[in-house]
Amino acid sequence: MRRDFLTTADLRSGELESAIQAALRFKSGADQSNPLAAKSVALVFFNPSLRTRASMQVGIYELGGNAVVLEPGGTSWTLEHREGAVMDSDKTEHLAEFVRVLGRYCVAIGVRTFAALKNWEEERTDPILSAFAKYSVVPIINLESAMHHPCQAMADMMTIREKLGAGRKKVLLTWAWHPKPLPMAVPNSFALAAAQMGHELVIAQPAGYELDDELMQSIKEKSAEAGGSITFSNDVDVAFDSVEVVYAKSWGSKNFYGEPEKDIAERAQYRDKWIVDEVKMARTNSGIFMHCLPVRRNVIVTDGVIDSRNSVVIDEAENRLHVQKAILQALIH
């Protein structure tokens, strides 16, 4: 039966740990298998990327396979995803054909499709990713959608394991000021994966920047099942106290989807306060600094923190390669 990787919740109990172990074997060189020999994987990018695109292409090559990179609206046709659409505007091809044609050439399809930050109720359902999953006969791998970035979250969990060892860690996910609203996929997936791993998770954000209620309910359930905990804070200083991991990310308020100027006005009060700096890091328990990248220096994090010995952002980016190889190996037989 076909298996997709749309969120880390698609991994059953124990599979997340198994994937991390498989990724560590790829990283150490202990696993040099070629499960993709003579096979191709499509990578569909609606949005820009450095890490995801490069690490997927390199990973597929290292597994013996071939990556087919497509950019709808760029070097491939513009795509419609809505059922029943009358395609008399700017969209040339429907996902119903695009996805099924690719399935005749490729053993899996990876897709990146960011939130447009225009309509919260619609985008929180991940409509484009869901359409890929609906029409496909081969596994769909989420390379960051409106709501989730599971490959990033797997690399994050692997990095925490590598740096701090096994067991429950005290982990802070902190909002940071950024000049414009950004999607929530990374914080959503980090919180979900940290909950699945049973970590002691603190989520800090200004009032009005809470994550999705329904997803948070699911995250709380996963955390309880795994023996972890979740606490919330609006105090960006106290939130750093005694944590072992600081994970910084900015995201937009769901209250202002479609009204970016209102979000920008609201967040202005948090500039210079909601930044990861040396003073806040001094409150941690020798905490490591993590960010998915790309990151705006001296906006999200100071040079002093990101260039410090406790910053693991480059290892974290490297681990995208190893963990995605583990995911491809698990999905494709």
Comparison of 52 and 174: residue with beta carbon closer to ligand CP: 52
Q: Which of 58, 96, 293, 295 is close enough to bind ligand CP by CB under 6 A?
A: 293
CA distance 290 to 316: 7
Q: Which of 7, 8, 52, 253 is close enough to bind ligand CP by CB under 6 A?
A: 52
Task: Determine if 49 is a binding residue for ligand CP (CB under 6 A).
Answer: yes
**Region of 58-66, 132-140, 173-181, 286-294 interacting with ligand CP (CB under 6 A):** 286-294
Contacting residues for 86 by C-beta, under 8 A, at least 6 apart: none
Q: Which of residues 139-198 bind ligand CP (CB under 6 A)?
A: 144, 152
CA distance 86 to 205: 42
Comparison of 152 and 302: residue with beta carbon closer to ligand CP: 152
**Region of 45-53, 81-89, 174-182, 253-261 interacting with ligand CP (CB under 6 A):** 45-53
Strand partners, 175: 249
Contacting residues for 290 by C-beta, under 8 A, at least 6 apart: 156, 159, 160, 245, 246, 247, 248, 312, 313, 316
Find the Cα–Cα–Cα–Cα dihedral 73, 74, 76, 80, rounded to 10°: -10
**C-beta of 43: minimal distance to ligand CP in Å?**
11
Comparison of 7 and 52: residue with beta carbon closer to ligand CP: 52
Using Cβ positions, the residue closest to ligand CP within the complex turns out to be: 52
**C-beta of 295: minimal distance to ligand CP in Å?**
9
**C-beta of 50: minimal distance to ligand CP in Å?**
4
Take residue 70 and report the two structure tokens written for it: 């497509």
Angle at 105 between CA 100 and CA 109, to 5 degrees: 65
CA distance 168 to 229: 10
**C-beta of 112: minimal distance to ligand CP in Å?**
7
Contacting residues for 94 by C-beta, under 8 A, at least 6 apart: 79, 80, 81, 85, 87
Comparison of 135 and 251: residue with beta carbon closer to ligand CP: 251
Task: Determine if 58 is a binding residue for ligand CP (CB under 6 A).
Answer: no
